[in-house]
């Protein structure tokens, strides 16, 4: 599933190509990705045609387009969702067996929603004020968020994240620190890939309870998470297959720079010990048994 860097890459592409344009036609080829939209396909089309895209916004892994009537077009990429932007002849000739929704905008711009497994989807929803009064997410100064996403915490790259509050929540819990990192209600945008990478960078074993970590160690963990994600962004995110691509259909290259994720049995680049894979709360975790010890200290 795409994590913060991958979704941010997509957001930037949507911002570049769609902001300022109006939807002129919406063609629903498969209604299943619209299962979260109240009213069905006809309502979805009716609420989009004629609307202008004012901003492309992201909070954590969650993405939406702000519309000029105060609503939002939310897009959850799920496991395999793609938002591809084409124009001109390329748009007219685009064909994909997993194409679900075609959204035409002014000029010759077309947004194609492609999804193989369809765990994600699209929906037009109302927006509500943010609980803290700050902007809803990256890409807009509007202090509003889709009503369906109010449960999503701020992410580590959000300038309005209250890091002291997050550290307090992490330290107050006896849950494994990796489990807490994956909790989108505590801090959003982090999945298996970047949790493992950040924990390795901070020299913390994912199984350690948050309550066993000092405030200084947790501050380092948040810092390491942000740094890892910034490096991933610079390389277009992490692609292991053709399912994650940006709006131009290009893959990211951060997989070449991963230190631990997917590298169990290989030597740690820091100390040379073989990396070990374990399971925490039903999720896999790869760590260095030397650099990331399962004991306090």
pLDDT at 297 over 50: no
CA distances from 35 to 70, 102, 118, 119, 121 (A): 21, 16, 10, 10, 7
Angle made by CA atoms 165, 169, 170, in degrees to the nearest 5: 115
Residue 250: pLDDT band with limits 50, 70, 90: confident
The verdict on whether 283 is a catalytic residue reads yes
When computed from its CA atoms, the radius of gyration of the chain, rounded to whole angstroms, is 20
* Domains contained in the chain, CATH given: 4-146 (3.20.190.10), 163-287 (1.10.8.50)
Per-residue HEC secondary structure of the chain comes to CCCHHHHHHHHHHHHHHHCCCEEEEEEECCCHHHCCCCCHHHHHHHHHCCCEEEEEEEECCEEEEEECCCEEEEEECCCCEEEEEEEHHHHHCCCCCCEEEEEEECCCEEEEEEECCCCCEEEEEEEEECCCCCCCEECECCCEEEHHHCCCCCECCCCCCCHHHHHHHHHHCCCEHHHHHCCCCCCECCCHHHHHHHHHHCCCCCCCEHHHCCHHHHHHHHHHHHHHHHHHHHCCCECCCCCCCCCCCCCCEHHHHCCCCCCCCCECCCCCCECEEEEECCEEEEECCCCCCCCCC
The predicted structure's pLDDT at residue 1? 67
The predicted structure's pLDDT at residue 53? 98
pLDDT in tens, 2-17: 889 999 999 999 999 9
The verdict on whether 178 is a catalytic residue reads no
Unique residue bearing structure tokens 């399962």: 294
pLDDT in tens, 139-160: 999 999 999 999 999 999 999 9
Whole-number Å distance between alpha carbons of 196 and 176 = 13
Characterize 170-183 residue by residue with b for buried, 16 or more Cβ atoms within 10 angstroms of its Cβ, and e for exposed.
bbebebbbbbbbbb
Among 12, 277, 283, 293, the one annotated catalytic? 283
Strand partners, 24: none
Unique residue bearing structure tokens 């990705």: 33
The verdict on whether 3 is a catalytic residue reads yes
Among 3, 6, 197, 259, the one annotated catalytic? 3
pLDDT in tens, 103-149: 999 999 999 999 888 788 999 999 999 999 999 999 999 999 999 99
pLDDT in tens, 46-85: 999 999 999 999 999 999 999 999 999 999 988 778 899 9
Among 11, 58, 59, 61, the one annotated catalytic? 61
Q: End-to-end alpha-carbon separation of the chain, Å?
A: 33
Among 2, 33, 135, 146, the one annotated catalytic? 2
The predicted structure's pLDDT at residue 200? 98
pLDDT at 241 over 70: no
pLDDT at 242 over 90: no
The predicted structure's pLDDT at residue 145? 98
pLDDT in tens, 201-235: 999 999 999 999 999 999 999 999 999 999 999 98
pLDDT in tens, 255-291: 888 999 999 999 999 999 999 999 999 999 999 999 9
Whole-number Å distance between alpha carbons of 54 and 27 = 21
């Amino acid at each position: 599933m795409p994590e913060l860097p991958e979704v941010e890459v997509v957001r930037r592409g949507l911002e570049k190509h769609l902001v300022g344009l109006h939807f002129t036609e919406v063609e629903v080829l498969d209604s299943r990705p619209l299962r979260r939209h109240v009213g069905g396909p006809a309502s979805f089309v009716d609420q989009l045609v004629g609307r202008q895209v004012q901003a492309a916004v992201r909070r954590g892994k969650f993405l939406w387009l702000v519309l000029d009537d105060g609503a939002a077009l939310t897009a959850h990429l799920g496991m395999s969702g793609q938002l591809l932007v084409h124009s001109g002849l390329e748009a007219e000739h685009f064909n994909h067996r997993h194409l679900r929704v075609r959204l035409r905008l002014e000029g010759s711009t077309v947004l194609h929603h492609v999804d193989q497994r369809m765990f994600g989807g699209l929906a037009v929803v109302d927006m509500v004020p943010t609980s803290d009064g700050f902007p809803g997410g990256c890409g807009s100064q509007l202090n509003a968020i889709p009503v369906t996403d109010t449960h999503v915490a701020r992410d580590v790259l959000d300038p309005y994240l209250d890091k002291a509050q997050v550290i307090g929540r992490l330290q107050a819990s006896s849950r494994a620190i990796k489990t807490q990192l994956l909790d989108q209600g505590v801090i959003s945008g982090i999945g298996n890939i970047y949790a493992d990478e950040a924990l390795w960078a901070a020299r913390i074993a994912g199984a350690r309870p948050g309550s066993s970590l000092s405030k200084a160690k947790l501050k380092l963990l948040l810092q390491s998470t942000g740094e890892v994600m910034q490096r991933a962004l610079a390389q277009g995110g992490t692609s292991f297959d053709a399912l994650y691509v940006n709006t131009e259909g290009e893959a990211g290259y951060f997989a070449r720079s991963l230190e631990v994720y997917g590298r169990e049995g290989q030597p740690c680049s820091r100390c040379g010990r073989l990396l070990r894979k374990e399971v925490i709360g039903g999720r896999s975790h790869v760590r260095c048994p030397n650099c990331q010890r399962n004991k306090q200290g």
